[in-house]
Chain A
């Protein structure tokens, strides 16, 4: 244990330690400020809340929208449908939406209806887009929702097992949906967990890359091997210091970010169902669940990249080489995940899974129906990704131990 502590002290010299932690905190603070401070609210380009920005806009909009918040009942949908249709004024062939108080309060409902209308028209392609939805559209909201998701699952699943899993997930979704004012900002905040995680991941890569390679560069490695304990005694420290530091950087950075968001944004908005948040998804989660999941992915991503970089560091002769490889891995994982989603190419998605650290971006698999079959067994794609990542983590640990002690 002595040797662990002294190695820990050596690796986390005051200046270096403070630098990493400080950068993480500053980035977290800036990021949260960027999410909250830059926020503007509106509805269908009508220019309501136009003069407000940041917290003011969020609070004003949330206050209006909280009047009908909670469970989204069919009655409220129907009411919003009527209010919305009444507010449309036809003017020489173009329709204008005239904002009124009631519509401001029902904005979330109207928004959800417009989205559903658009999706249904896109999927079935047999409606006239010139007109808005019919007057009783709101009262059929959940039936239409069922219709849309059944079809979506049909299109996106390849076999019976996948379909069953998807249906099971979809049936677990709580209906009626729930929402509370201010969830839009939270949604952006949750999405940014991944992007901020990407930056933190690179920082962890930077830290871990020198852990063994630097010893080799300055000849310390040779000296260690001649001591009575040899490298074997130091192995534990070498394996776990990057992981500890990685977790520390991630906790501090992400903690600052989430802490600031939690402090300023309405807490009950976290109960919002993710189906209301814009993207189509079959997962039965609320925004709060989503935060937990994203942070779990981020944490696993951080320890994976820490372990993997340590392995590269034990292999490479120079810290800079290890650093380049780590950064390259993180960036290709990031790019491939994005490209895999946008091209919907299963090959690219699978490749991106294998890249260490890419699990931090597994939140991308929450959209639509992302299910994969392995040996005939259906599995949610993000669980598969998580599994692969943990596998890589342990393989990296083993390879590092083998490499380090044997040399």
Chain B
């Protein structure tokens, strides 16, 4: 029966087109990254000399070569790039040198200490007082040295691309889920389904194809992106620390694990969104209205989250399933919410939304079924 329901909902033109659409967008966006990098092979080999742990003595060597001897060797400049981000991420805080010639040796010889100093400085200046202690604890959990494999920098754009596609996917899921119940009411097939033996069961499993559809799209987007980037830089780049993407962030995960967290959040978001849309669809019995409400909610999040910084509203916004597609920016930052690392808090909140609406959905279904049997 589950299979039949899957077949009914998933073997449609809409699903086919959206899969193709996501595939094309994924390939298109990543083609832009990959096509620029035709001659990357030689520089990757150069960089590979110092791959693995980032050692302070190597940094010092590189800094000396680039700063004093004006070397343009890729193997050195790629390392100085890391020192650069120490100064250039959150510019104007603590380290304010404008060009490499001004960098003291200290940035290389005590790279990790400098990093820690700036991070502590940032936490003290940018976070509210009550969150600072938690943030410092989180900071102490971070393990050094960081790891770097050649070509990781392609993931700057790749991660951004994944995020954009994830936003699109959540919209597609919204559209798909909006018809979960209402479509059957609209075309009258509900009347027929109601008379069948498996009516109850059918009503409950209706959101599974939606979830399946969302997960499918997510996997296509992720695997497509990772596959295309890996075809250029190899699988090793995934093992680089996420710190290489955003130096001032918590946690000890690699870029690969970072992507997994994004996917996990997206999947939780899909779960929440499908149940939420299921509720709306069942309640309104009109697909267009359901789409209207769903889209408004997501757009509300997109606009609200970029302009409002009042904590209470932020907590509320993070509970909207759309928040799960935005997790990259909170992974790259160092915010704390509910005493938790922000990405965790978002996943947690969205999970609560899912559970809440799952309960609401079952209650609504019970009512609907009872009401129909009374007739």
A residues in contact (CB < 8 Å) with B: 34, 121, 125-130, 195, 198-199, 202, 206, 209-210, 217, 318-321, 323-324, 327-328, 331-332, 335, 339, 343, 345, 347-348, 351
Which residue of the partner chain B has the closest CB to A351? B28
Taking A320-B291, A328-B175, A351-B28 as given, write out 8 further A-B residue pairs in contact, using a Cβ cutoff of 8 Å, ordered by the A residue number. Answer: A121-B98, A198-B303, A327-B171, A327-B175, A335-B167, A335-B168, A343-B32, A348-B29
B370 on the interface (CB 8 Å rule)? Answer: no
Docked complex Cα distance between A348 and B186 (Å): 39
Distance to closest chain A CB from B137 (angstroms): 28
Tell me whether A328 and B171 are in contact (CB under 8 A).
yes
Docked complex Cα distance between A125 and B98 (Å): 7
CB neighbours of B29 from chain A (8 A): 348
Tell me whether B96 and A319 are in contact (CB under 8 A).
no
User: Which of the residues B179, B295, B307 comes within 8 Å of A202, measured between beta carbons?
Assistant: B295
CB neighbours of A320 from chain B (8 A): 175, 178-179, 183, 287-288, 291
Which residue of the partner chain B has the closest CB to A217? B186
User: Which of the residues B14, B98, B292 comes within 8 Å of A127, measured between beta carbons?
Assistant: B98
Tell me whether B171 and A130 are in contact (CB under 8 A).
no
Distance to closest chain A CB from B88 (angstroms): 11
Docked complex Cα distance between A195 and B299 (Å): 11
Docked complex Cα distance between A250 and B90 (Å): 39
Tell me whether A126 and B99 are in contact (CB under 8 A).
yes
B73 on the interface (CB 8 Å rule)? Answer: no
Docked complex Cα distance between A195 and B304 (Å): 11
CB neighbours of A126 from chain B (8 A): 99
Which residue of the partner chain B has the closest CB to A31? B303
Distance to closest chain A CB from B26 (angstroms): 13
Docked complex Cα distance between A32 and B43 (Å): 52
User: Which of the residues A129, A195, A217, A347 comes within 8 Å of B98, measured between beta carbons?
Assistant: A129
B54 on the interface (CB 8 Å rule)? Answer: no
B160 on the interface (CB 8 Å rule)? Answer: yes
B375 on the interface (CB 8 Å rule)? Answer: no
**Which B284-298 residues have C-beta < 8 A from chain A?**
287-288, 291-292, 295-296
Binding site secondary structure of chain A: helix
Docked complex Cα distance between A339 and B32 (Å): 12
B372 on the interface (CB 8 Å rule)? Answer: no
Tell me whether A210 and B288 are in contact (CB under 8 A).
yes
**Which B169-192 residues have C-beta < 8 A from chain A?**
171-172, 175, 178-179, 183, 186
Docked complex Cα distance between A323 and B295 (Å): 10
Tell me whether B96 and A318 are in contact (CB under 8 A).
no
Docked complex Cα distance between A327 and B174 (Å): 11
Contact pattern, B 184-205, Cβ under 8 Å of A = 1, otherwise 0: 0010000000000000000000
Docked complex Cα distance between A328 and B32 (Å): 22
Docked complex Cα distance between A210 and B291 (Å): 13
B97 on the interface (CB 8 Å rule)? Answer: yes
Tell me whether A130 and B96 are in contact (CB under 8 A).
yes
Which residue of the partner chain A has the closest CB to B186? A217
CB neighbours of B71 from chain A (8 A): none
* 6 pairs, CB–CB < 8 Å, chain A vs chain B: A128-B98, A209-B288, A319-B288, A327-B295, A331-B168, A331-B171
Docked complex Cα distance between A398 and B291 (Å): 28
Tell me whether A202 and B299 are in contact (CB under 8 A).
yes
Tell me whether B164 and A335 are in contact (CB under 8 A).
yes
CB neighbours of A348 from chain B (8 A): 29, 32
Tell me whether B164 and A339 are in contact (CB under 8 A).
yes
Which residue of the partner chain A has the closest CB to B31? A347
Docked complex Cα distance between A328 and B186 (Å): 23
Docked complex Cα distance between A130 and B103 (Å): 12
CB neighbours of A34 from chain B (8 A): 307
Q: A209-B288, A320-B175 are in contact. Are A328 and B168 (CB under 8 A)?
A: yes
Distance to closest chain B CB from A314 (angstroms): 17
Q: A210-B288, A318-B287, A324-B175 are in contact. Are A129 and B96 (CB under 8 A)?
A: yes
